[in-house]
Amino acid sequence: MHDESRRIEERVQRLHDQRIKTAIYAATVPFQVEAWQAPGEPVPFEEAAAASYEPFATGTPWGPPWGTTWFRMRGQVPEAWAGRRVEAVIDLGFTGDWPGNQAEALVHRTDGTPLKAVNPLNQYVAIAHPAQGGETVDYLVEAASNPDILADNFAKPTPLGDKRTAGDAPLYTFRSADIAVLDEEVWHLDLDVQVLRELMLELGAHDPRRHEIAHALDRAMDLLDLDDVSGSAAAVREALKPVLSRPAHASAHTVSGVGHAHIDSAWLWPIRETKRKTSRTFSNVTSLADEYEDFIFACSQAQQYEWVRDHYPKVWARIQEAVKKGQWAPVGGMWVESDGNLPGGEAVARQFVHGKRFFMDHFGIETKGVWLPDSFGYNAAYPQIAKLAGNEWFLTQKISWNQTNTFPHHTFWWEGIDGTRIFTHFPPVDTYNARFSGEEMSRAVRNYQEKGGASRSLAPFGWGDGGGGPTREIMERARRLANLEGSAKVVVEHPDDFFAKARAEYPDAPVWVGELYLELHRATYTSQARTKQGNRRSEHLLREAELWATTAALHAPGYAYPYEKLDRLWKTVLLHQFHDILPGSSIAWVHREAEAEYARVAEALHALTAEALAALGAGGPRVFNAGPCDRAEVIRTADGAPVYVQVPANGSAPLGDARPPHPVTVDGRTLANGLVRVEVAEDGTLASVYDLRAGREVLAEPGNLLRLHTDLPNYWDAWDIDKHYKNRYTDLLDASSVTVVEQDPLLGAIRVERDFGKGSRITQTITLRAGSPRIDIETDIDWHETEKILKAAFPVDIRAAHSSAEIQFGHVQRPTHTNTSWEAARFEVSGHRWVHIGEPGYGVAVINDSTYGHDVSRTVREDGGTTTTVRLSLVRAPRIPDPEADQGRHRFTYALLPGARIEDAVAEGYALNLPLRVADAAGAPRPVVSVEGEGVTVEAVKLADDTSGDVVVRLYESRGGRATGVLRTGFPPAGAQITDLLERPLQDADLTGDGVAVALRPFQILTLRLRRG
């Protein structure tokens, strides 16, 4: 037989694209269209319905950036179409190849009922099936003219990312709006040919099945009447039945399809637009559920459900009905799909608390799994946090984006820092927007790492980010691929069912220990520094507000614990931890609003804390310590004078005049306090840090060296920092001034000022306080660089085999060498309040109050000694998607802590992030809780969410070893229980007197619920 493959393939492609596809709609009549441009921000339906509309012609430009145009579309179904399937087909002028993230619209009846959205790959709205001839159609269509920020693959900066800079020129040209007859036979033929052709092209040239399909298609095309595609479609389909009905091999891989619509809660659009995207997509999904009984849609992010509930009650009612039918599956159990690295431990816990509780309250469903397909790496505390929230499985996709190493598993047990394991899956289809194409099915099988051990994987299907979610075409593909020779088998099912089957099939799956580090998007630890600082400040202010509100609720008669206010503030912070807000990868509009939100959160939390402390009564100035460790340190009073205070953990003390053992001395550019001696060089770097207690020099080279690197990644500017950034840099060594600005027995300070780059200026105040070895570097930057990153280096004379970086409820250790490609790929890593390096007998920590990105490297000097260098990433200057990212003023503090053990790093990390607070209050009662025992650290103190008045305390082991101790209470306890994160009892705790004995394994999290006597 001659090889006719090329002829057949080209023939099938042309006939499919040019004849079959174009015949799907058998007849059309245009709508009469009128338009009204909404002024400013989106308006409610009622306002739009009452507006004055003007005639609007197809081919007319419309839609200024971020604008809303309402279209009124009127028409009538021709009498001759009675009994046919009739649809509205609307093309707003969709551009590019994005299924979403551009022009989108929601179609309403004239009574305000949302029907369905129209999107680039989902342009129809069902009118009637069967149709009544002469039926009148009258729609109001809310169309959003969102700019396509991703156009040209982020090739250049764009002003379109903020309404203030986007201009008002129309973005789109209205193409068509028709009433049309769907030719169902042709539509099904289109799908038959698509599925077979794509499968054929994925099969090997020597696979008989490929040639069988090719010749079947060739013969079928002979039956296609080019002058009457509709009339011949049934015969063509009949000819294809044999090749479509051949069953899959018994050993074929099984793909569990789960309907999905990944909607970023903000990214290349603001939060206000996400509220509309969710309504549009959820309208589509519930419409599809009515059409396909076997359809199942998985949807995470409780915040998005709440938006729909509050703004689109009719869509919300349809979601509730779909949940009852089992076609809609709430998943994930988090308030939003948050970033996986940057939120603090308590914040991650609250993501689950608020998310899971929402789904239980509104649907009576407790979600079983963590659904995080798109976050940029996952911290090693996740398994324990997820399990304590009642989860059984974990799903993500993003690790497939690794730049260097291919992750070795798709189904595995993930083990966290405390030893907790959770069953985890990475879909080998390598997308969370699958459509069951032949290429996707082939890729899923080809990639699958568990061959021979397991035989199934999961594929989330549907268009995301405004694409409207799953479509009927995708569902039809799934039906054709359910049992088709040459392909993996597709079954549409609930993700819980997939995980149950996968775990039963593969109980001895391999184990991955530690963080799931994404070898990409490393700059998300640093971009948009003010957003990150707002998050860090908010997390710690929430801790303070809850602690002092609990104290007041226990001891101040008449004080009411602010449950609702704290709940709403927590949800605001949790929303902004979404994986494109907190990482700094959104447009300017998003980050402008985030900074404003954080300011409002701070104001509200300061007010709540002030109310709580005032409720304790007046009596003179007292110092309040919201941290988990006793503190003795120098603070400033309201008039700026330094004072040395000693305050217990979670408690308070009078503002007295205690004296530290050694005063601070200032001699030229040298600061000393009996613990350490710091010499500042003429160029403003730290020439020497000498640990007087240990009798050793800490620095191997000048410290606090500021280095400005060129920073232009290959792609994804705000997301990525590529390794070549290290090759080009300038050391900032030209200080314009080095001046002693404070000389007091309690503290000494030297200010260093530098001008550099494109008009940037940095002022750093190096401060040493009495009684503490911690050297603070308060930093004020006026930043005007572009495509640069600024780092601060501390080269330490320590031979450290690894660095330890704080993460949620513990820390991770990372090698300082680069023996393998896995270690070399970690050239930029994340951490929270501190990074520690050490050798037996001595260690040093670098503490920060808002910095997350850093790198640690090691070199051997000519004298044989080893220099381990910790460098903090302070600020970047990407231009895409926000061309003005990070420009302007930044204020933050980082510190060097010589002679530090891990427990010292923990204590000082809390201290720097939880400044002591001075307030006028009466003699405060005992702390709500206090701990006897090393390593047992209090993370949260609050009243129980059920308003019972019980006190909830979250503890964890913070050093990485076993810990025992006693939790003492400042109130008479009547009972104690160990609970999960949702404060549900797991077991009784032993209560003896005013304490609870605790025994923790390394990094264990323990939540105690204490009933008051």
831's tokens: 């951490």
Q: Which of 403, 346, 341, 337 is nearest to 370 (CA)?
A: 337
CB-based burial of residue 54 (10 Å sphere; 0-12 exposed, 13-18 middle, 19+ buried)? exposed
Q: Which of 676, 694, 960 is nearest to 812 (CA)?
A: 960
Q: How many CB atoms neighbour CB 166 within 10 A?
A: 20
Q: How many CB atoms neighbour CB 620 within 10 A?
A: 11
594's tokens: 């985030």
Q: Which of 367, 361, 357, 390 is nearest to 299 (CA)?
A: 367
Cβ–Cβ < 8 Å for 372, 349: no
Residue 367 DSSP symbol: -
CA distance 496 to 478: 19
- Sequence-distant (6+) residues with CB within 8 A of 588 are 161, 162, 165, 881, 882, 883, 884, 885
Residue in 218, 374, 430, 980 annotated catalytic: 374
Q: Where are the strands (E) in 587-745, listed by range?
A: 621-624, 631-636, 642-647, 652-654, 665-667, 670-672, 676-680, 686-691, 696-697, 705-710, 729-731, 735-743
Residue 132 DSSP symbol: P
CA distance 170 to 921: 60
In order of 234, 477, 672, 767, the CA distances from 182 in angstroms are: 15, 18, 84, 75
CB-based burial of residue 758 (10 Å sphere; 0-12 exposed, 13-18 middle, 19+ buried)? exposed
428 three-class SS = coil
**Cα three-residue angle 374-395-808, rounded to 5 degrees:** 75
State residue 929 phi and psi, 5-degree precision. -140, 150
State residue 411 phi and psi, 5-degree precision. -130, 125
362 three-class SS = helix
Q: Determine whether 639 is an active site residue.
A: no
- Sequence-distant (6+) residues with CB within 8 A of 206 are none
- Sheet harboring 775-783: ordered strands across? 735-743, 747-756, 760-769, 775-783, 888-898, 842-848, 834-839, 802-807, 810-815
The radius of gyration of the chain's CA atoms, rounded to the nearest angstrom, is 31
776's tokens: 């603070």
Cβ–Cβ < 8 Å for 353, 389: yes
CA distance 668 to 740: 8
In order of 69, 111, 1005, the CA distances from 50 in angstroms are: 14, 12, 56
**DSSP letter string over 936-997?**
EEEEEEEE-TTSS--EEEEEEE-SSS-EEEEEEESS-EEEEEEE-TTS-EEEE--EETTEEE
- Catalogue the active-site residues: 374
